[in-house]
């Protein structure tokens, strides 16, 4: 799995590292990326066995991103050593400081890094974190952040600023758009689809999933609508052969940035 795969991913599905029987099931759900989780999904007494299961899975020729325990925890160094051995993409939990990420990139050179921004300190330093060499994009840990801030993580207005800061920092650093946090509802999928459409409206372009059923819902939300495609087709057609000056389509001004947006829509349909 290379950095382009990470940058272009729409869906990233977590699977607990201490449940190796679920690894193949996660792959079968056809997410763009499977994330084997060594952090929140795994109790302290199973951290070592989860790391061993993950290493065995990777050694067998499978691929995954790995969410490792946060810097400063008793498991971080061993998690990082395992990731460095296999050179797989890594998601450092609770990313807050540049030095933490630089250590990851030094020990696992070439492995795409996706910092999980899920604390107030991480959000406050997100511009610096995005600028670290080796960071491919950032992900939003809405549940942990909401808990730290004392707000409902499902309340969109409460975390609007924080999502927007991730989008702004990613764009300023030339990174792929950020990955939105999880939707805890998985008994039905319309909530996931709606949540991701909202995140996309803010400039995010991928979503973390916690259940295989959520993957297809994310992909549905990522696909342009028929109306989007019709608009983009008309805009691109109007721009063909122009000298770069603005044109009008259905009473609206169309210039170069609008045409670029239309072309991006057509590229992913």
192-220 pLDDT per residue, tens: 999 999 999 999 999 999 999 999 999 98
Average pLDDT over the chain, rounded to whole? 90
221 band by pLDDT with thresholds 50, 70 and 90: confident
206 phi/psi in degrees, rounded to 5 = -155, 170
Does residue 244 register a pLDDT over 60? Answer: no
pLDDT tens profile 22-52: 999 999 999 999 999 999 999 999 999 999 9
- At the top level of CATH, the class of 3-222 is alpha beta
Q: What pLDDT is attached to residue 260?
A: 73
Token code pair at residue 13: 């599905």
Q: Which range among 134-138, 239-243, 254-258 shows the weakest confidence by mean pLDDT? A: 239-243
Burial 177-202 (b: 16+ CB within 10 A, else e): bbbbbbbeebeebebbbebbeebbee
Distance of alpha carbon 259 from alpha carbon 266, whole angstroms: 11
pTM above 0.75, yes or no: yes
Residue located via tokens 């603005």: 246
Do residues 83 and 68 touch, judged by C-beta distance below 8 A? Answer: yes
pLDDT tens profile 100-124: 999 999 998 889 999 999 999 999 9
The string of DSSP letters for 46-114 reads GHHHHHHHHHHHHHTT---EEEEPPTTSTTHHHHHHHHHHHT--EEETT---HHHHHHHHHHSTT--B-
Token code pair at residue 108: 């696992």
Distance of alpha carbon 245 from alpha carbon 152, whole angstroms: 47
Listed in order, the ranges of the chain carrying CATH 3.20.20.60 are: 3-222
Higher pLDDT residue, 87 or 238? 87
Distance of alpha carbon 158 from alpha carbon 261, whole angstroms: 29
């Amino acid at each position: 799995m290379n950095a382009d795969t990470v940058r272009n991913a729409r869906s990233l599905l977590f699977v607990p590292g201490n449940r190796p029987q679920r690894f193949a099931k996660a792959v079968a759900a056809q997410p763009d990326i499977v994330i084997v989780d060594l952090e929140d999904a795994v109790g302290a007494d199973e951290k070592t066995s989860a790391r061993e299961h993950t290493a065995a899975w990777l050694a067998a020729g499978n691929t995954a991103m790995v969410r490792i325990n946060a810097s400063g925890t008793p498991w971080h160094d061993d998690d990082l050593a395992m990731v460095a051995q296999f050179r797989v993409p890594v998601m450092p939990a609770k990313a807050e400081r540049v030095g933490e990420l630089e250590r990851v990139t030094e020990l696992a050179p070439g492995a795409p890094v996706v910092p999980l921004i899920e604390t107030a300190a991480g959000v406050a330093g997100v511009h610096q974190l995005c600028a670290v060499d080796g960071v491919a994009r950032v992900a939003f840990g809405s549940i942990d952040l909401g808990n730290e801030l004392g707000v409902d993580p499902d309340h969109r207005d409460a975390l609007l600023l924080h999502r927007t800061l991730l989008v702004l920092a990613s764009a300023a650093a030339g990174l792929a758009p950020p990955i939105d946090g999880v939707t805890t509802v998985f008994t039905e999928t319309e909530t996931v689809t709606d949540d991701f459409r909202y995140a996309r409206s803010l400039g995010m372009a991928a979503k973390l999933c916690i259940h295989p059923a959520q993957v297809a819902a994310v992909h549905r939300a990522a696909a342009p609508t028929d109306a989007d495609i019709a608009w983009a087709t008309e805009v691109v057609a109007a721009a063909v052969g122009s000298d770069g000056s603005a044109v009008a389509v259905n009473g609206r001004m169309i210039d170069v940035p609008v045409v670029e947006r239309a072309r991006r829509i057509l590229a992913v349909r």
